[in-house]
Amino acid sequence: MTIVNAIIIGAGASGLFAAAEEGRRGLFVVVLERTATIGNKIRVSGGGRCNFTNLNVTADNYISGNPSFCKSALAGFTPYDFIQMVESYGVRYYEKEQGQLFCRASSGEIIAMLRKRCEEAGVRIISNTKVHDISKRGDVFVTTTDNGTFHSKSLVIATGGISYPQLGATPFGYRIAGQFGLNVKPTHPALVPLVFNSEDGANLTMLAGISIEAAVSCNGRVFRGGVLFTQRGLSGPPILQASSYWRAGDYISINLFPDANAYEFLLSRRKHKQELYNILEFPKNFARRWCELNSYMKPINQYNEKELKEIADNLQHWRLWPAKTEGYKRAEAVTGGVDTEELSSKTMEAKSVKGLYFTGEVVDVTGQLGGYNLHWAWASGYACGRHMQP
C-alpha cells in the first residue's frame, strides 16, 4: 500500500498539467497511465506538431451544457500563460493561422516539457498500470491497480473522452463518475468527417480529392475553409467544425460563394453563351457535377432572372443530409461527458464527493478546431492543481 496526497488517473494533457501544479505546491502526487507511453493524444495533435493553444481563446469556442462553466478556468490560465511556459523551456513555435500556435519541431517537445515539469515537481508517473477498482473509505480514496494499491485524500480523473480508442481511450472516466453518483451527458463524436447518405454517396464520390473554399453552417454555427470531398463523405476544417454541432437527421448548408453575391455574379455573366458549369469558378469536375445534379445544363444566357435567382440560392444554400459521422475512431474530440453541473468551475472538484476531481476532455466541455481542446486541458488541469487541498 502506498499513501500519497493525490492520485491522477491518466497521463494526458490535463492529467500531467494538474500533476505538475500539485507537485509544485508540495503535494506527493502519483500519475497512473494504463498505456506504455504518456501524452498519446498530444503526440498526434496538429499533424504531429501539436496545436497547443490559440491566441483567440474565449468561452464562445466551447460546447457545453453550461456555456459559462469554462470561463473561470480560462480566465485563470490564458494562452499567454502557456506561451510563457513553453518559451521558458525553449520550445520554438509559430502561428499558423487564426491564432493557432504549433511547435516548430514536433509535439514531442510539449510531452518532454510536461514530463520535465512533473520530474521537477517530484511527481511519480507509473505507466502500464491498469486500475481495477476505486472506492472511498471515509475521506480516503483507495485505488487498486496491477501495480499495487494507493491511498489518497484526492483523486483526479483525467482519462479523456472516447475519441481515438486506438490510442487507448476508454469510457473509464464516465464509469467512475457514474459510480460516485455523478450525471454524465450523452457523448457524440466531434471534429470528425461526415458520411454521405446513400443518394449523395452515389452522386458525389466521383469528386473525391476535390477541395472547395466555402462556408459551412449547421444548427446556427458557421465555419469557413476548404471543404474536402472524400470517398465516403465530407471532411476539411469547416466540416470538422460543423460536425460537433451536427446530430442525426440534421442537414448542413454549404455556401459556395462565401465572398460574393452569387446572383450578382450570375447577372454579370448572363449574356455569355457558355454553359453554366463553365462560368462557375470552381474546379471543372465539381462545377459540371453540381450542375448535372441540379439540372442546370443550359448556356447561362438561356436562363431568366427568376431561374438565376434559384441557381444563386442553391449556390449559397446547398443543403446536404449526412447519414452519420466517421465515428469515434476518426473523431478528434467528443461532446458530452461529466455534467458540469456536478463540478465546481473554479476547482474541478465534484460538489457531492469531496476530493474527487475531473479535468480535460472527460468533462462536458468541448473545444472547436484550432488548439482549443488542448487549452481546455491546460486550463482545467491548472485549476485543479492550484486549488486541490492537501
Residues 180 and 219 in one domain: no
Residues 21 and 138 in one domain: yes
Residues 204 and 175 in one domain: no
pLDDT of 263 reads 97
The C-alpha atoms of residue 17 and residue 114 are separated, in whole angstroms, by 7
Task: Give the DSSP letter of residue 47.
Answer: G
Q: Torsion-angle region of residue 59: left (phi > 0), alpha (psi -120 to 50) or beta?
A: alpha
Residues 184 and 210 in one domain: no
CATH of the domain at 223: 2.40.30.10
The C-alpha atoms of residue 17 and residue 310 are separated, in whole angstroms, by 54
Residues 137 and 216 in one domain: no
Residues 61 and 173 in one domain: yes
pLDDT 10s digits, 268-308: 999 999 999 999 999 999 999 999 999 999 999 999 999 99
Residues 358 and 245 in one domain: no
Residues 345 and 378 in one domain: yes
Q: How many domains does the chain have?
A: 2
pLDDT 10s digits, 83-120: 999 999 999 999 998 899 999 999 999 999 999 999 99
Q: How far is CA 308 from CA 262, 283, 314, in A?
A: 9, 21, 10
Residue 292, domain extent: 194-325
Residues 91 and 124 in one domain: yes
**pTM score:** 0.95
CATH of the domain at 149: 3.50.50.60
Among the candidates 325, 357, 372, a domain finishes at 325
Q: Among 292, 298, 293, 265, which residue's Cα sits nearest to residue 280? A: 265
The C-alpha atoms of residue 114 and residue 8 are separated, in whole angstroms, by 14
Helix %, strand %, coil % of the chain (to 5)? 35, 25, 35
pLDDT 10s digits, 343-353: 999 999 999 99
pLDDT 10s digits, 297-325: 999 999 999 999 999 999 999 999 999 99
> Which residues contact residue 88 at a Cβ distance below 8 angstroms, ignoring those fewer than 6 apart?
none
- CA end-to-end span of the chain, whole Å? 19
